[in-house]
Amino acid sequence: MNPTVLSAQAVSRSFGKHQALRKVSLEVRRGERVALLGASGSGKSTLIRCLCGLESTDADGGRIEAFGQLLQAKGRISPEIRALRRRIGVIFQQFNLVGRLSVMHNVMTGLAAEAPLWRALSGRYAEADQARALDALDAIGLAPQAFQRASTLSGGQQQRAAIARVLLQGAELVLADEPVASLDPQSTHRVMEQLAALNREAGMTLVVSLHHVALAQRYCERVVALRDGALVFDGPSSALTPGFLQHLYGTAAADLLHEPGTDASVNDSRHLALAA
């Protein structure tokens, strides 16, 4: 059995009186491809941010480990967080690219953690590092656009550039927070195919937050589902039948069932009819 690369134990996070996460526990093993599923407001983004240390848990909010090392516990981020973040790539719904800079320059920021500060600030990287960046762009099909301004790329291309940045970083674990939420259907599937390829070919472990069951079932073998901040399902994606989802989410299930690029009302009616 592959080793555990990510472990969360009774993780809770509150914002004022609102409890975004309620004692969530899970383990992710090396090489897994896990979809994090849930309706809007279920706590998916908060969990992703806690798992990478961008958000601290409550003071009594449990413990998170990555690669067998403490990442945070009881609201305190580990002093080793910088070293751990070199091994954890994070991809957001917003691409976080600087539009006026070249695609190449944006991708090179994946080396910021290991490069001297003056290189990161000036953008002057060694030729060997630039070659690595071009290899990363070539791997995701963007080498011809390497020296274009990032603002000239389509949304799907910008998200793939963000993936190249994680690839250059050498991340072993990728946490992707709704990476396809703002993309058209064709770009959605291309980005998801790229993430799946990194998992298969580069051995990256993937935890990806999604809003559509169809994408989770197509690209991930395992699903972790949240509802109102609590973990309500952890198992194979094949088990997520329309009836089971309606049991978990009630009327909110309709929001999860339609596929990107389809008429939501038609698809929701078809799925819920099957669940009846």
Question: Around Cβ 259, how many Cβ atoms within 10 Å?
Answer: 16
Residue 95 lies in a domain: no
Please write the tens of the pLDDT for every residue from 237-273: 988 888 888 877 777 677 777 665 554 433 443 343 3
Question: How much is the pLDDT for 269?
Answer: 37
Per the document, the length of the chain is: 276
Residue 120: inside a domain? no
Neighbours of 144 (CB within 10 A): 10
Asked if residue 207 lies in contact with residue 34, where contact means CB atoms within 8 angstroms, the answer is yes
Burial annotation 26-62 (CB, 10 A radius, 16+ → b, else e): bebebebbbbbbbbeebbbbbbbbbbbbbbbbbeebb
pLDDT at 268: 41
Query: CA-CA distances (angstroms) from residue 93 to 45, 79, 90, 236?
Result: 10, 28, 10, 25
Q: How far is CA 60 from the centre of its chain?
A: 26
Domain of 8, in residue numbers? 1-78+207-276
| Kind and range of the H or E run holding 140 | none
- Where does residue 228 rank: exposed (0-12), middle (13-18), buried (19+ CB within 10 A)? middle
DSSP 8-state secondary structure symbol assigned to residue 259: P
Whether residue 119 lies inside any domain: the answer is no
- What distance in Å separates the CA atoms of residue 213 and residue 47, rounded to the nearest whole number? 19
Radius of gyration of the chain measured on its C-alpha atoms: 19
| pLDDT in the model for residue 113 | 59
Please name the amino acid found at residue 182.
S
Question: What is the per-residue pLDDT for 127?
Answer: 86
Counting the structural domains of the chain, the total is: 1
Residue 105 lies in a domain: no
Residues 6+ apart with CB under 8 A from 32: 2, 205, 206, 221, 222
Cα–Cα distance for residue pair 150/139, rounded to 1 Å: 18
Give a yes or no: residue 13 inside a domain: yes
pLDDT confidence of residue 270: 38
| Alpha carbon distance 18, 32 (integer Å) | 31
Is 92 contained in some domain? no
In a domain? residue 89: no
Cα 22 → chain centroid: 20
Neighbours of 83 (CB within 10 A): 12
How do 88-91 and 173-177 pair as beta strands? parallel
Alpha-carbon span 153 to 104, nearest angstrom: 12
Q: Which residue stretches of the chain have pLDDT < 50?
A: 117-118, 263-276
d(CA 190, CA 158): 12
CATH of the domain at 6: 3.40.50.300
